[in-house]
């Protein structure tokens, strides 16, 4: 028998939403256009960083193996376990997903790499050319990758993983945000503009530049949250199916990173409380069982990975890592929350959550709106999102490795962007129109500058990208890298390349995507 929460009780718990006011396109047409827009702009701002998650993706795509022996000593997070080879200390979820498009593109990548390396051999090139990066570690990495014949492979693989895994993942997260917003605000048009603000006015834009498990797990968990919440009863699914999807999303978050445990437990607690209030203890236990069932697949896959890689299914990869800076504190660098880290995660000038996205400060004002009778966000869901943010904040304030964000920008707390944006949007919508426009312009300007000029390590932190873009002009990360190679991948890049033609081409494509001639005469809720 299909398990459903009674309609009357669910309405009392979740709040009653009126049908959204339609726009010129149907919701599905808006969603498709929104996805394509985000995907295209995200891919345009691709950054060629070869992060640790890239190596297992290469190993899976090349050899169907978790061992990264081919890349030994190329990254500080790669280490050798006696008798078991080289691995990374992080969870494999993002790498497993990224390995799929990489494996499909291997025939093309392998042919290009083979041709380039054969040409270098024929020309007698044995010494790596100069790479004019301001960072010594980047220069050394490039030299080592060139010596091993991996430089072209790394660049192409990083692009495939970003364009066919990371960018679609973030674009899908924006679409899920749109569906949540249209039921919260009762307007497709307003939901679209706010979803675009989420896509390009928060560090989601910045973090999507290359493969990043923190943001990916946040979007997966947010998908599970929306499935269990089901605002406006937009999903015509049984409760057990929605709770199973919530468990699947929570388990996948754990597969991506152990910080996903916070989200896995948060979603479970939310689901239980929601069911208790709507249908009683028996239904809550029933739905909780479906949630747990949903977690088994991804959690089992994580245990399988740890058993295959390290010989024990339950110890995390960090357990086997050799001593590194801060690993002597607590358990492998993790201990009780520290005030210094707690404040730094929020307000550090290089990676602070609220410094990187001041817009999110509005979310902290959301509880004040409950003094008004016309609140649009249900109380239970609002407190769930704020409590999840606080739990994640406390969790990472116990990790000494959060200090490493000084050269990456906001990263560890990236999973909280979707959870905090929704209450922030509710507050933003209540502001005067001039204030709304000002916040939107400032947010997009900061996020776009971060996505173009990604260095927050030197000088003024997150202000550096803004000053560089406003003083030096527009740029794109991959064009900057090609320029620094001095023309070795083509003489066209040796003098620098303007991104303006690519911006113009992208604008033309986006105009075509949103042209009314390709849509309905009128939308439907």
In this predicted model, what pLDDT tens digit does every residue of 186-199 receive, in sequence order? 999 999 999 999 99
Contacts of 3 (CB under 8 A, 6+ apart): 238, 239, 240, 283, 286, 287, 290
* pLDDT confidence of residue 375: 67
Handedness of CA 146, 152, 157, 159 (dihedral sign): positive
Residue 6 is predicted with a pLDDT of: 46
pLDDT value, residue 336: 93
Taking the C-alpha atoms of residue 468 and residue 503, their distance in angstroms, rounded to an integer, is 18
Confidence bin at 525 (pLDDT 50/70/90): very low
Q: Tell whether the model's pLDDT for residue 110 goes beyond 60.
A: yes
pLDDT band at 459 (very low <50, low <70, confident <90, very high): confident
- Over range 504-517, report the average pLDDT: 94
Q: Is 49 left (phi over 0), alpha (psi -120 to 50) or beta?
A: beta
Rounded Cα distance, 169 and 217, in Å: 10
| Helices and strands counted in the chain (H then E) | 21, 2
pLDDT above 70: residue 236:
yes
CA dihedral 42, 48, 49, 55 (to 10 degrees): 100
List the single range of 199-203, 396-400, 451-455, 519-523 with lowest mean pLDDT.
Answer: 519-523
**What are the domain boundaries of the chain?**
23-46+170-322+330-470, 54-155
pLDDT band, residue 372 (cuts 50/70/90): low
- Which token pair is 123? 């020309």
pLDDT at 149: 95
For 79, the 3-state DSSP assignment is strand
Q: Tell the burial category of 7 from Cβ atoms under 10 Å away from its Cβ (0-12, 13-18, 19+).
A: exposed
Q: At what angle do helices 213-229 and 239-256 cross, to 10 degrees?
A: 170
- For residues 145, 149, 155 and 157, what is the CA-based torsion angle, rounded to 10 degrees? -120
In tens, the pLDDT along 306-319 reads 999 999 999 999 88
Q: How many CB atoms lie within 10 A of CB 147?
A: 12
For residue 298, what pLDDT is reported? 98
DSSP code, position 489: T
- For residue 31, is pLDDT > 80? yes
Q: How far is CA 103 from the centre of its chain?
A: 22
Q: In terms of Cα–Cα distance, which of 273, 278, 227, 231 is closest to 8?
A: 278
**pLDDT (0 to 100) of residue 401:** 86
Condensed to tens digits (0 to 9), the pLDDT of residues 253-299 reads 999 999 999 999 999 999 999 999 888 898 999 999 999 999 999 99
User: What per-residue confidence (pLDDT) applies to 290?
Assistant: 97
pLDDT value of residue 494: 66
Q: From CA 54, how far away is CA 75, in angstroms rounded?
A: 11
78, β-bridge pairs: 88
DSSP state of 517: G
pLDDT in tens, 379-416: 999 999 999 999 999 999 999 888 888 889 999 999 99
Least confident interval from 44-53, 111-120, 282-291, 515-524: 515-524
Q: What is the four-CA torsion angle of 156, 158, 164, 166, rounded to 10 degrees?
A: -170
Lookup: tokens for 209? 């530049």
Phi, psi of 389 (to 5 degrees): -60, -45
Cα-based torsion angle of the residue sequence 432, 437, 440, 442 in order, rounded to the nearest 10 degrees: -110
Residue 9 has pLDDT above 50, yes or no: no
Q: Give the residue with greater pLDDT, 101 vs 333.
A: 101
Degrees, nearest 5: CA angle 390-395-401: 130
Q: 394: phi > 0 → left, psi -120 to 50 → alpha, else beta; which?
A: alpha
Residues forming a β-bridge with 86: 80
Give me the pLDDT at residue 11, please. 44
- Give kind and range of the element (H or E) at residue 268: helix 260-279
Write down the mean pLDDT value for the chain.
Answer: 91
Residue 108: is it exposed, middle or buried by C-beta count within 10 angstroms (0-12/13-18/19+)? exposed
Instruction: Please indicate whether residue 34 or residue 15 has the higher confidence score (pLDDT).
Output: 34
Tell which residue, 355, 369, 374, has the closest CA to residue 422.
Answer: 369
Other beta carbons less than 10 A from residue 151's beta carbon: 25
pTM score of the predicted model:
0.93
Closest C-alpha among 262, 288, 285, 275 to residue 385: 262
Give the pLDDT score at 495: 67
| Residue 28: exposure state from Cβ atoms within 10 A (0-12, 13-18, ≥19) | exposed
Residue with tokens 């999807």: 245
Q: What is the dihedral of CA 187, 188, 190, 191, to 10 degrees?
A: 110
């Amino acid at each position: 028998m299909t398990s459903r929460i009674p309609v009357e009780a669910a309405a009392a718990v979740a709040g009653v939403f009126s049908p959204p006011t339609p726009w010129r396109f149907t919701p599905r047409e808006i969603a498709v256009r929104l996805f394509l827009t985000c995907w295209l702009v995200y891919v345009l701002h691709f950054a060629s960083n070869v992060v640790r998650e890239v190596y297992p993706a290469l190993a899976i795509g090349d050899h169907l193996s978790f061992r990264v022996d081919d890349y030994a000593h190329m990254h500080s997070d790669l280490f050798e376990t006696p008798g078991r080879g080289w691995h990374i200390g992080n969870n494999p979820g993002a790498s497993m997903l990224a390995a799929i498009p990489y494996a499909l593109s291997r025939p093309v990548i392998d042919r290009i790499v083979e041709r380039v390396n054969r040409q270098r051999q024929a020309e007698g090139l044995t010494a790596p050319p100069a790479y004019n990066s301001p960072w010594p570690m980047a220069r050394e990495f490039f030299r080592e990758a060139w010596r091993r014949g991996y430089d072209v492979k790394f660049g192409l693989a990083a692009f495939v993983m970003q364009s066919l895994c990371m960018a679609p993942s973030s674009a899908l997260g924006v679409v899920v945000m749109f569906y949540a917003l249209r039921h919260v605000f009762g307007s497709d048009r307003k939901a679209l503009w706010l979803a675009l603000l989420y896509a390009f006015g928060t560090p989601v834009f910045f973090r999507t530049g290359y493969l990043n498990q923190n943001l990916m797990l946040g979007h997966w968990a947010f998908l599970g949250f929306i499935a269990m919440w089901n605002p406006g009863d937009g999903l015509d699914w049984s409760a057990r199916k929605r709770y199973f999807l919530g468990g699947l999303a929570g388990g996948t978050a754990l597969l991506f990173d152990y910080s996903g445990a916070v989200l896995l437990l948060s979603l479970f607690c939310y689901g239980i409380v929601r069911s208790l209030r709507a249908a009683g203890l028996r239904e809550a236990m029933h739905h909780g069982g479906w949630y747990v069932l949903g977690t088994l697949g991804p959690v089992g896959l994580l245990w399988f990975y740890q058993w295959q890689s390290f010989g024990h299914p339950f110890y995390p990869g960090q357990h086997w890592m050799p001593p590194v800076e801060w690993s002597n504190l607590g358990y492998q660098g993790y201990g009780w929350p520290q005030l210094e880290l707690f404040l730094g995660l929020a307000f550090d000038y290089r990676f602070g959550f609220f410094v990187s996205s001041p817009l999110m400060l509005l979310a902290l004002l959301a509880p004040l709106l409950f003094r008004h009778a016309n609140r649009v966000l249900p109380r239970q869901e609002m407190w769930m999102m704020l409590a999840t943010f606080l739990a994640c904040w406390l969790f990472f304030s116990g990790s000494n490795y959060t200090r490493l964000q000084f050269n990456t920008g906001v990263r560890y707390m990236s999973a909280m962007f979707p959870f905090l944006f929704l209450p922030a949007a509710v507050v933003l919508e209540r502001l005067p129109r001039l204030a709304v426009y000002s916040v939107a312009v400032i947010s997009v300007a900061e996020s776009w500058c971060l996505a173009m000029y990604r260095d927050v390590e030197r000088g003024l932190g997150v202000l550096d990208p803004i000053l560089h873009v406003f003083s030096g002009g527009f740029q794109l990360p991959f064009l900057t890298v090609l320029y620094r190679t001095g023309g070795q991948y083509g003489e066209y890049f040796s003098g620098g390349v303007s991104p303006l033609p690519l911006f113009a081409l992208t604008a033309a494509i986006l105009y075509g995507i949103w042209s009314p001639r390709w849509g309905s005469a009128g939308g439907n809720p």
